[in-house]
Chain A
Amino acid sequence: MNFGLIISYVIAGFLMIMIFTINYNVGFSNQEVTTTLIKETHTQAVKQILTNDIPKIGYQQGGVITNTFIKATDIELSYRSDLDNDGSVETITWTYDPDTTPAHANNPHVNTLIRTVDGVDTDITLGITDFQIRYYNQYGSTSPMSTPVSSSDFEDIVQIEIEFEMQNDYSLNYRASDPDRYITTNWQKRFSPVNLRPN
């Protein structure tokens, strides 16, 4: 057999392997980007609900709420607010349940975040894998109050910090033998609700 032809086949084989590898890498990268964008959209949805609810703590149209907080732990925040600005006060509860994985979830780290308004539950099962609530009794403090915050200290709360992590539902592995790897997004914000101002 012609030696030059054999070498040509070998080089062609290398080139084909290169093309397939490049194709796979680009495809994998695109999959990562798409998954990240989906997760960012989910994060945005949760952020919007939080930034709608938390700054309104203690608000009432044309009135003053005296007992704003009902419960304040690191995974549960319950308070009163006139959420829809109609003059009537609702009870809002944010609860993170770290032990309940939604039935449809493929990712075992995913847990449930529950938003309750006047007893009506909304399960947020978009891939929350961690959710922490911290309370501060001083603006700009780096030391959160110990949780659960006792009811006698509710009036001291001036800032509430929310931090959560979300992961995608399916694992993205470069190789089938790799350990499960999930796209993770984080978000952290400290709210200074107007109605918690000491003055």
Chain B
Amino acid sequence: MSGYSEVLYVIFAMVIVSTMALNANRVIQVNNVSMIEGQLEGQVIAYAQDIIEESRALAFDEETTYDASGNSLVPVYIPSGFSSLGPDGSESGRTSFDDFDDFDEYTETVNINGNDYDVSVNVDYVITSNFTDYTVTGSKSTLKRITVNLESDFLNKNQAGNNTNYNFSFIRSYYAD
């Protein structure tokens, strides 16, 4: 047995050191993920804010855009006089958008500092009875909600391995414009 005792010691020592090595690698991996996620999430928030701010700078609705004198048009019937969601007529691309809901169904892949972000935007008419809970409505209302969704292949926190979806919403009221 004495011939094997050294071997057993060595095996025992290697098991301990290997466990240490595996744990250390896990720590390093978690550190790297934390560093990258922290940076990218800051950029995700900034880009979502860009889109929300830009949409807010446009008219509330196609029917309330500005005339040549810079005056906002007012539909006869509110809210039924508002337009359908999405780009109107020949509007295609952000530079041609002239109202808030033109961003509906807008998608793009944007590269910021070498990282690709998939961006998708949804705009809905919403209603509320208590100004806390908002529900999407199929009819028109004086409230519109923009939701900006961002994903990146480098932001992946799910167990299932899917990209994390970051959602940012803003509710705009026709009367509080």
Residues of chain A in range 185-199 having any CB-CB distance to chain B below 8 Å: 185-192, 194, 197-199
B38 within 8 A of A: yes
Shortest CB–CB separation between residue A16 and chain B, in angstroms? 9
Q: Could you list which residues of chain A lie within 8 angstroms of chain B, going by C-beta atoms?
A: 4, 7-8, 11-12, 15, 18-19, 22-23, 25-26, 29-30, 32-33, 36-37, 40, 43, 47, 138-141, 158-159, 185-192, 194, 197-199
Cβ–Cβ contact A194 & B38, under 8 A: no
Cβ–Cβ contact B42 & A15, under 8 A: no
Cβ–Cβ contact B27 & A187, under 8 A: no
Q: Could you list which residues of chain B lie within 8 angstroms of chain A, going by C-beta atoms?
A: 3, 6, 9-10, 13-14, 17, 20-21, 24, 27-28, 31-32, 34-35, 38-39, 42-43, 46-47, 49-50, 53-54, 56-59, 66, 70, 72, 93-95, 97, 112-113
A7 contacts which chain B residues (CB < 8 A)? 6
Cβ–Cβ contact B28 & A25, under 8 A: yes
Cβ–Cβ contact B112 & A194, under 8 A: no
Cβ–Cβ contact B46 & A192, under 8 A: no
Cβ–Cβ contact A15 & B13, under 8 A: yes
Main secondary structure of the interface of A (DSSP, over half): helix
Cβ–Cβ contact A29 & B10, under 8 A: no
Cβ–Cβ contact A140 & B54, under 8 A: yes
Q: How far is the CA of A141 from the CA of B97 in the complex (A)?
A: 11
Shortest CB–CB separation between residue B92 and chain A, in angstroms? 11
Who on chain B is nearest to A18 by CB? B17
What would be 22 A-B contacts, judged by CB atoms less than 8 Å apart? A8-B6, A8-B9, A11-B13, A12-B13, A15-B13, A15-B17, A18-B17, A18-B21, A19-B20, A25-B24, A29-B28, A30-B31, A33-B31, A36-B39, A40-B42, A139-B94, A140-B54, A186-B43, A188-B43, A189-B50, A199-B59, A199-B70
Q: How far is the CA of A158 from the CA of B97 in the complex (A)?
A: 14
A159 contacts which chain B residues (CB < 8 A)? 54
Cβ–Cβ contact A187 & B54, under 8 A: no
Q: How far is the CA of A43 from the CA of B38 in the complex (A)?
A: 12
Who on chain B is nearest to A24 by CB? B24
Who on chain A is nearest to B16 by CB? A15
Q: How far is the CA of A29 from the CA of B46 in the complex (A)?
A: 27
| Contacts beyond the supplied A26-B27, A190-B53, A199-B72: 6 A-B pairs with Cβ under 8 Å | A4-B3, A8-B9, A29-B32, A43-B42, A139-B58, A199-B70
Shortest CB–CB separation between residue A57 and chain B, in angstroms? 13
Of the residues B14, B17, B24, B113, contact of A26 by C-beta under 8 Å: B24
Cβ–Cβ contact A189 & B58, under 8 A: no
Shortest CB–CB separation between residue A99 and chain B, in angstroms? 24
Who on chain B is nearest to A40 by CB? B38
A187 contacts which chain B residues (CB < 8 A)? 42-43, 46
Cβ–Cβ contact B35 & A32, under 8 A: yes
Cβ–Cβ contact B95 & A26, under 8 A: no
Q: How far is the CA of A190 from the CA of B47 in the complex (A)?
A: 8
